Amino acid sequence: MGNTIGALVGVFQAEQQAKAMQYNEKVTKMAAAQEKVRAARIAEEGWRKDQAAISEGRAQFGAAGVDVTEGSPLAWEIDSITQAAMTKATVLDEGEANAVNLRNQAKLYKWQAKQTRTMSYINVGVAVVADVATMGMGSMAGIGAGGGLLMSMAGSKAPQTSFPSGTNVPVGPVQRSPGSSIPRINER
């Protein structure tokens, strides 16, 4: 009985752990969403700064009287725009990768919560079987005919169960007589 009680306490503890893991799952999902927003904000700020720098460079070329529609000023502008676009894409990709990692962590928390619960229930089942087996082997008379049935199902000789009147009754597998709905006990 002690194993079963301990396992039931374990179910309560596992439920608390599972709730904590579910909370972590929710927090991690929110962090993933925030990471995407953060990356988009940083990418957009960077893009604006890069565009401002390109516009400023174009203005400086124009003030100096340089034709920006051809030659090295045009190549500089194209390179600058390309670099700005690549920087924006890199920041967005890094944000998405971080968000994916966080979502995967959230899935792991969800899976761990489920496994924790499942294992606690399995532990209860094992503990009940262990307690029943302990009672069945240790004090057969204490559990009455159930222990005898357990022993007969295990293939050993059915024990004699003592009733208060002192009459010994053989306990064995229950069978029905042909054509009868009344079960009878086999005697060995």
Q: Is the pLDDT of residue 176 over 70?
A: no
Q: What is the DSSP letter of 68?
A: T
Q: Is the pLDDT of residue 187 over 50?
A: no
Quote the CA–CA distance of 55 and 121 in Å, as a whole number.
67
Q: What is the mean pLDDT of residues 41-59?
A: 88
Q: What per-residue confidence (pLDDT) applies to 107?
A: 93
Q: Quick one: which of 146, 150, 171 has its CA closest to 161? A: 171
Q: What is the mean pLDDT of residues 137-160?
A: 47
Backbone angles phi, psi at 65, to 5 degrees: 85, 20
Quote the CA–CA distance of 138 and 123 in Å, as a whole number.
22
Q: What is the pTM of this model?
A: 0.54
